[in-house]
Chain A
């Protein structure tokens, strides 16, 4: 366990090296937030609410999903980079789990982002625009639980995609296309309330809504406890399902690596 903590700590500390980059990436998120709010202010055109959704709910959706997006940062190139430079063969010989290390480094990175990115973004948002408070304390706690599960969904998607690098080596295109889907369909760029109805039907069959939108709905108190339980169960199902796909690829990939000697 100490080895994994050491890896997480190393990543956490390493992130501080690029101070300016860090400030800029916070700013980038804040700007993105402002743009979406301005667009929706124009779309609302002073209307109190549209389809029962108020402007401050829209704002809250953006703060939370963009904010969670700053924390949710699985390194899509963790495995591909090691396959590309050939270091994977030696990495696999180390006496610690490769996947465990992958998770540890992601956790270190996310912890850094939580403290030095999410909190500043949240403070700016609170100071400049109206963000709804959580519906009540249980909702806040369930929001946190659901957000962790949402991270799990995003992580397992990244995990499964990375495994294809055993065959494709360079997966930049695939990762980029994956990010298009995540950005459009997870609610971080368009609140899913405003998706056309047929599209909402389609979304129910994809894992994307459970990344950000489920936690947001719970936070706003839009779901009953029964619905919360169901949505969290769906999140869990997605995590397990996608992780299993990744796991199968991982095993086949390792076998391929052994057969071909890297």
Chain B
């Protein structure tokens, strides 16, 4: 049963276009030019309750625009969105009380005041009952380890501490859906781990539906089961993270260390790369059986060590972008 249903949404922006140099400046003074940019083109998907979905794509791919339409900030030009039976951009007040949004680059905390004051303000804004507030605050303070800085002004916090506070702020009213826009940007490795751990825990315990956009593939790998890849405003992939390999890149790599300096004969269907005189890399597709290749190598040469690897997700995704770019 789908919880969020998105049907054929599109969004176009008008952007001003400026020429360069003095002629461009004069032209802009007289007659500014605009061009249309299609930020989102005909995207559809559905998301079930309790799912964790990551949106990835290069800068300007349309991730943010999609998230903004889902959270009710933007009207789509065409298409429809329903989220737990509500149309976000039409029934704003009743909808936004049920969602939480974390913008990694824009804090919603009061810059000059202690974190706690921002929480108190949010309690009043969202009409959070005392008992729920107390329960959530206690729980998040513990899970996110905030007790050390909850009484400090936000401007004195490290980026990681601020981000943890921002995440807690977005969740105080127990939302059913949470949108994370770059939730770990600029945060150090330990901070990132703490945030990811919290997200996993919350998803497991409360069955909160979570939607991410991020540049950090680690975020996605550690928190999401499903990814939607968006590029140039269109959806190019939607499925399990683990299936991306299956779908896009089925090559594997065999790294071999020989006992002595060795020249190998070319093998049909296998690409050979020299690392140095004694190390070689063999790259091959699904049509080659790994047993055959290995036995062939072991029979013909003196091998000290063998190591098999699959390409990491990040490089596959990089390949997907560049392929789209080339087309």
User: Are A and B direct contacts in the complex by CB distance below 8 Å?
Assistant: yes
A222 within 8 Å of B (CB atoms): no
The 0/1 profile, CB within 8 Å of B marked 1, for residues 1-17 of chain A is 00000000000010011
The 0/1 profile, CB within 8 Å of A marked 1, for residues 156-183 of chain B is 0000000000000000000000000000
Closest chain-B Cβ to A149's Cβ sits at a distance in Å of 30
Binding site for B on A (CB under 8 A): 13, 16-17, 19, 22
The answer to whether A16 touches B21, judged by C-beta atoms less than 8 angstroms apart, is no
The answer to whether B29 touches A19, judged by C-beta atoms less than 8 angstroms apart, is yes
Q: Per DSSP, are chain A's interface residues mostly helix, strand or loop, or mixed?
A: helix
User: In the complex, A16 Cα to B21 Cα: how many Å?
Assistant: 11
User: In the complex, A13 Cα to B32 Cα: how many Å?
Assistant: 15
Listed A/B pairs (13) with beta-carbon separation below 8 Å? A13-B21, A13-B22, A13-B25, A16-B25, A16-B26, A16-B28, A16-B29, A17-B18, A17-B28, A19-B28, A19-B29, A19-B32, A22-B29
User: In the complex, A17 Cα to B22 Cα: how many Å?
Assistant: 12
Contact residues, B16-67 vs A (CB, 8 A): 18, 21-22, 25-26, 28-29, 32
Binding site for A on B (CB under 8 A): 18, 21-22, 25-26, 28-29, 32
B26 / chain A contacts, CB cutoff of 8 Å: 16
**Beyond A13-B22, A16-B28, 11 additional pairs, beta carbon < 8 A:** A13-B21, A13-B25, A16-B25, A16-B26, A16-B29, A17-B18, A17-B28, A19-B28, A19-B29, A19-B32, A22-B29
A17 / chain B contacts, CB cutoff of 8 Å: 18, 28
User: In the complex, A146 Cα to B263 Cα: how many Å?
Assistant: 84
Closest chain-A Cβ to B100's Cβ sits at a distance in Å of 31
CB-nearest residue of chain A to B22: A13
CB-nearest residue of chain A to B27: A16
User: In the complex, A13 Cα to B29 Cα: how many Å?
Assistant: 11
User: In the complex, A13 Cα to B25 Cα: how many Å?
Assistant: 7
User: In the complex, A16 Cα to B28 Cα: how many Å?
Assistant: 8
User: In the complex, A19 Cα to B32 Cα: how many Å?
Assistant: 9
Closest chain-B Cβ to A66's Cβ sits at a distance in Å of 23
A16 / chain B contacts, CB cutoff of 8 Å: 25-26, 28-29
A13 / chain B contacts, CB cutoff of 8 Å: 21-22, 25
User: In the complex, A16 Cα to B29 Cα: how many Å?
Assistant: 7
CB-nearest residue of chain B to A13: B25
CB-nearest residue of chain B to A112: B25
User: In the complex, A22 Cα to B28 Cα: how many Å?
Assistant: 13
User: In the complex, A158 Cα to B29 Cα: how many Å?
Assistant: 30
List 10 A-B pairs, minimum CB-CB distance, nearest first.
A16-B25, A13-B25, A19-B29, A16-B29, A16-B28, A19-B28, A19-B32, A13-B22, A17-B18, A13-B21
Closest chain-B Cβ to A21's Cβ sits at a distance in Å of 12
Q: Which of B21, B26, B28, B29 has the most CB of A within 10 A?
A: B29
CB-nearest residue of chain A to B32: A19
A22 / chain B contacts, CB cutoff of 8 Å: 29
User: In the complex, A19 Cα to B16 Cα: how many Å?
Assistant: 13
B25 / chain A contacts, CB cutoff of 8 Å: 13, 16
User: In the complex, A19 Cα to B29 Cα: how many Å?
Assistant: 6
CB-nearest residue of chain A to B26: A16
A19 / chain B contacts, CB cutoff of 8 Å: 28-29, 32
Closest chain-A Cβ to B191's Cβ sits at a distance in Å of 22
User: In the complex, A105 Cα to B248 Cα: how many Å?
Assistant: 52
